[in-house]
Structure 1
Amino acid sequence: MTTPIEPPVPPAKPAPLRPGRKLGPIADGVGSVHRAWLEPLRCTYLNSGLTLSYLSARVPLAKSKLSELLRGTGLYPRWEIILSLSTQLQMPSWPLYQLWRQAALEAQKSNDWIERSSEKASVTTSQTPPLDHRAFRETVEDDYRLYAQVFLDDDQRDTAIANTFDILWLRWNEALASPDTRRFAWNTLRTTVMARTPHIDGRPRPEFGAAAFDTVALRTLTADTERMYQLAESLQLFKAMSRLPDQQLDVMVLRQLYRICPEGVSTLLGVPIATIRSSERHAAHFLESVICPPPETEGNTA
Structure 2
Amino acid sequence: MTTPFEPQASAFGPLPRQPVRPGRKLGPIAPAVPSSHRSWLEPVRERYLDSGITLGALGDRVHLAKSKLSELLRGVGLYPRWESIHRLAEVLQLPSWPLYRLWRQAALDAGKAPEWIERSTQKAARATVRTRPPLEHAALCQLVEADYRFYAQAFLGDQERDAAVQDTFATLWLRWDTALRSPDTSAFAWSVLRTHVMARTTHRDGRPELEAAVFDAVAVHTQNTDPEADTARMTRIVALFKAISKLPAPQLDVMVLLHLCGFSPEKASSLLGIPLATVRADERRAVRYLETVFPPDTEGPTS
Check whether TM > 0.5. Answer: yes
Tell me the distance in 2 between the aligned counterparts of 1:258 and 1:128.
31
1:51-62 alignment to 2 at 5 Å? 51-62=54-65
The alpha carbon displacement at 1:267 in A equals 0.5
- Counterpart in the other structure of 1:129: 133
Q: In 2, are the aligned partners of 1:251 and 1:280 still within 8 Å (CA)?
A: yes
Tell me the distance in 1 between the aligned counterparts of 2:225 and 2:265.
32
- Counterpart in the other structure of 1:209: 211
| Letter aligned with residue 195 of structure 1 | A
Alignment deviations for residues 31-50 of structure 1 (CA, whole Å, 9 cap, x no partner): 11111000000000001001
The alpha carbon displacement at 1:218 in A equals 6.0
Q: How many residues align?
A: 284
Asked if 1:199 corresponds to 2:203, the answer is yes
Asked if 1:24 corresponds to 2:27, the answer is yes
CA gap of 1:184–1:151, structure 2 versus 1, over 3 A, is same
Asked if 1:169 corresponds to 2:173, the answer is yes
Tell me the distance in 1 between the aligned counterparts of 2:262 and 2:222.
17
Gaps of 5+ in 1: 1-6, 297-302
- Counterpart in the other structure of 2:224: 223
Tell me the distance in 2 between the aligned counterparts of 1:169 and 1:179.
17
- Counterpart in the other structure of 1:8: 2
- Counterpart in the other structure of 1:299: none
Tell me the distance in 1 between the aligned counterparts of 2:134 and 2:230.
46
- Counterpart in the other structure of 1:152: 156
- RMSD over aligned Cα atoms: 2.1
- Counterpart in the other structure of 2:37: 34
1:15-94 alignment to 2 at 5 Å? 16-94=19-97
CA gap of 1:17–1:234, structure 2 versus 1, over 3 A, is farther
| Letter aligned with residue 207 of structure 1 | E
Alignment deviations for residues 43-81 of structure 1 (CA, whole Å, 9 cap, x no partner): 000010011111111112101100000000011111110
The alpha carbon displacement at 1:230 in A equals 3.5
The alpha carbon displacement at 1:227 in A equals 4.8
Asked if 1:261 corresponds to 2:264, the answer is yes
- Counterpart in the other structure of 1:4: none
The alpha carbon displacement at 1:213 in A equals 2.6
Tell me the distance in 1 between the aligned counterparts of 2:162 and 2:95.
22
State the identity as a percent.
Answer: 57
Tell me the distance in 2 between the aligned counterparts of 1:200 and 1:294.
30
Tell me the distance in 1 between the aligned counterparts of 2:297 and 2:240.
11
Q: In 1, are the aligned partners of 2:100 and 2:128 still within 8 Å (CA)?
A: no
Asked if 1:187 corresponds to 2:191, the answer is yes
| Letter aligned with residue 192 of structure 2 | T
| Letter aligned with residue 139 of structure 1 | L
The alpha carbon displacement at 1:223 in A equals 2.5
Q: In 1, are the aligned partners of 2:222 and 2:234 still within 8 Å (CA)?
A: no
